[in-house]
Structure 1
Amino acid sequence: MFSVALIGAGRIGQIHAANIANHLQSSLRYVADIHPDSAKTLAKRHGAEVAGVEAALADPAVDIVVISSATDTHAELSERALLAGKAVFCEKPIDLDIERVRQCVELVRQKEGKMMVGFNRRFDPNFAHLRQSLVAGDVGELELLMIHSRDPGALPIEYLKVSGGMFRDMSIHDFDMARWILGEEPVRVHATAASLTDPTIAEIGDIDTAIVSLQCASGRMAVITNSRRAAYGYDQRIEVHGSKGMLNVANVVESTLVKSTVDGVVSQKPKHFFLERYSDSYRIEWDHFIGALKGEHALWPSAEDGERALVLAEAAVTSLRTGRAVELNWV
């Protein structure tokens, strides 16, 4: 049984707390949060204790630290947990500054630590099935990947101000998915974007609508489309075009009901947002992490995966600013 300290009792922390508590091989021991009432409520819900970060890290009974606090705390808390000899599960991104991320990755290497980054979409059963089919050669060699990721609406402007921008905050999931499905690193990144959904987003220097193209040394390409507004719900689709066919994952809808009448045929809308759409992936993600700590399989996505996704995000930012494609050298 792995004993867990959770730092961050917000909406992602609440998801992780439930999955930790419900897993047969983990238990939630401590909850820490800068808001005492939030920590108290979540701890009480799962039979845990409220503790400060220092106390939780100092407890030798704690095996794992889960970090779901504000982004600007991720790197420091990860390093403190690694230095305390704990395994670390850290929500994305590790940090908004690539050099700070690299410092954290280097510490993982030096300490031979266990650190997983929360790119939960890899564990969505539908996306995982797509990748398994691709790896099995069902559609031949991948030639073109399309990732569509669109939110039902923008997050609060106060959050967006400190988010690091759309590419680092939202699109980073798609950069990780692209790397994972392509099976090789993109070496060329080109981005075009605008602010179309809310003038306030433009006022803070951010974007809400974007297309990013990636190309690998092999010639394989990926296109990512992002938007902060999808009137019909949370739009999450992936298409792989291969030499022998195509793979496609459609949206997960609210129900499978289809109404057919003289007026037409109507199906249900996509699930509203990530909490509903990816609930299974968060549970499977935690099970994977526990299995990796038990030595049943490799631990991924790793801290290095977190670094490389942010490299692509930074390249997209640079491309948008300069209007030119950015060439990457992964040596």
Structure 2
Amino acid sequence: MSASFASALGAAHDAAAAQHYPQGALYVVATPIGNLADITLRALHVLQLADTLACEDTRHTQSLLRAYGIDKPSAQLLAVHQHNEAEAAQAVLARLQQGQRVAYVSDAGTPGVSDPGARLAGAVRAAGLRVLPLPGASSITAALSVAGAVASGVAESGFVFAGFLPTKTAERQAAVQRLQAEPRCTVLLEAPHRIGELAQALAVLGERPVTLARELTKQFEEITTLPASGLADWLAGAPQRAKGEFVVLLHPAAASEDDGDSLRVLRLLLQELPLKSAVRLAAEITGAPRNALYDTALAWKREPPGDAD
């Protein structure tokens, strides 16, 4: 156990032991995304209390437990990852039905968001058993909390979680085109060996602000906001910038004052004209950017807007 956490287990017991922890329940436990001090006291208590730990990677979890001074035999660790989640859920259900407390942890962060765990939670709920969340670290909310990525209108507030974009070039470009028409903040995740390709794909967004957050909560944490067209150059500016896991936030597109008029004109023209002709005329009539109108028209074609009031 690290000396830094010598008193943590005692504090966890004092703070959390008096609470109720039902048997036969699945505890979904968030773990640190880098900084070990971000563990919660309740998480430490449940990790000690659990009869079984379901883990994305048993070796990684065992190292994490040892850092906090928690000793669990290998028989109490059960591998549940993206490749075996469906079948491993049955093993978890069997233990829950025996009255065990099972804690599920991914390698880092909150399970079931971008990491495995959602199918497991769904299977446990479908069996009529309890699933209890133990909230904690998340790279998504950590990045959002410091980016200041605020939409201009109340109706367009909030964010969209898109996760990892497709790896094939054409599919990724199509996904970026769809995101271009999304008025809310969009959250992406990317691995270090593909961040350069993502930066090139996002360059079509031009001056739209993008926040890159890498190595969150770790020693070399770096958070920067710059235009989408400058992402590739920024990454190339220093070798270490392409290392570590990335959260990428596409800030909401800036709304122009005539957005409402241009979209109304576009919608009327689309009722009478082919898409390209309607976009060209709408841009000429309203002065709105043709590319933005074209992306909106494509989005409407996939999912038509509601009737005007």
Given the two structures, how large is their TM-score scaled by the length of structure 2? Answer: 0.36
Q: Determine which structure has the larger strand proportion and give its number.
A: 1
Q: Comparing both structures, which one devotes a greater share of its residues to helix?
A: 2
Higher relative contact order (CA 8 A, sep 6+): 1
- Of the two, which has the highest radius of gyration? 2
